[in-house]
Amino acid sequence: MKNGRSLSKRTAKERLTEFLAVFDKEDEVLIILNADPDAIASALAVKKILRYHVKSVTIAYPNEIRRLSNLAMLDLLKIQTAKLRNIKVGDYSKKVILDSQPTHLPAFEGIEFDAVIDHHPASRGWEAPYVDIRKDYGATASMMVEYLRAASLKPSVALATALYYAIKVDTNNFEKKTVPADAISFRYLYNIANHNLMRKIELSELRRSELNYFKTAFASYKISKRRLYVHVGRVRSPDVLVIIADFFKRVHDIAWVLVSGVHGERLVVIIRCDGYKKNAGTLATRVFGKLGVAGGHRQAARAEVPFKKLEIQSVDFDTATLMRLARKYLRQLDPDN
């Protein structure tokens, strides 16, 4: 058994061969993902790779897809998916998780995965027969392009558009840390993808009603020592917190951005920084890791914590509370700001 902490150096061909060896002709495969552009595009790539190697492939997700750009991606590229709660996981002989790991979400608990492919740092407490985790890559989609090319499979226009858009989103137009392989995959897809279709997906970002969250954010944010904090209260979808955090990180002379909100009975915190002598993932883990799910990369991170573990009511949580939680660790990680 291999796990995310002991990966050997393998060529693209070797990875493909090992991955395909997991499956049999009669397998009914379930791909499970936390639906976002990188995960969705990667699932499409795996579906194409397995097309003649297994009996069937189903893509399912546990989260509610509310972000308009993600819904537009599914609609415009005609991507077929299912909600995890509407299917029986036990009916599938093999399970694959992409752009995530078995311990990342409560919905993944209890599922034995046969293959894990991801670009996030490896977490502990799980094993799988096939593991490919490359934390230096900017997107799982970049990895999947390598699988496709190793299999001599040229992506369709729809698949190329999905993968191209996924790399663009997850690397933040290559502003985040990447490796040359990301650029190689991106360049390979450039002449195949439909750029007009991709722009149509990109421009589907906000509902009119979600502008109210920005109104709250502008009224509630606090800045202290080049750190911007804001709690926007209860949100319909955590995706709007990401949009707000990405907006505020563009403000000149702001080193850190922490945006929080309440979704269900959980506190969701989105963290952004410039990644230069800073590490958002480390901050998320130190502040919230013992209380819930937390982690990420140098520039971007996320945490989700049940309010019962915070010993505070959601209605009492505000921007000042967020500041108190994070300040101690920010002083340790970034004493100059």
What are the tens digits of pLDDT across the range 284-337?
998 888 888 898 888 899 999 998 888 788 888 999 999 998 887 787 766 665
Distances (CA, A) of 209 to 69, 213, 215, 236: 15, 8, 11, 10
pLDDT value of position 329: 77
Does residue 204 carry a pLDDT above 90? Answer: no
Confidence at residue 2, expressed as pLDDT on a 0 to 100 scale: 47
Least confident piece of the model among 12-21, 90-99, 200-209, 254-263? 200-209
Q: How many CB atoms lie within 10 A of CB 321?
A: 16
Residues above pLDDT 90, as percent of the chain: 67
Read off the pTM. 0.68
Task: Please choose, from the candidates 68, 134, 120, 147, the residue with its C-alpha nearest in 3D space to the C-alpha of residue 294.
Answer: 120
pLDDT in tens, 220-238: 999 998 999 999 999 988 8
Domains located in the chain, CATH noted: 12-202 (3.90.1640.10), 209-333 (3.10.310.40)
**CA distance linking residue 82 with residue 59, whole number of Å:** 6
Task: Identify the three-state secondary structure at position 335.
Answer: coil
pLDDT digits 0-9 by tens, 136-192: 999 999 999 999 999 999 999 999 999 999 999 999 888 787 899 999 999 999 999
Q: For all residues of the chain together, what is the average pLDDT? A: 91
Mean pLDDT along residues 225-253: 92
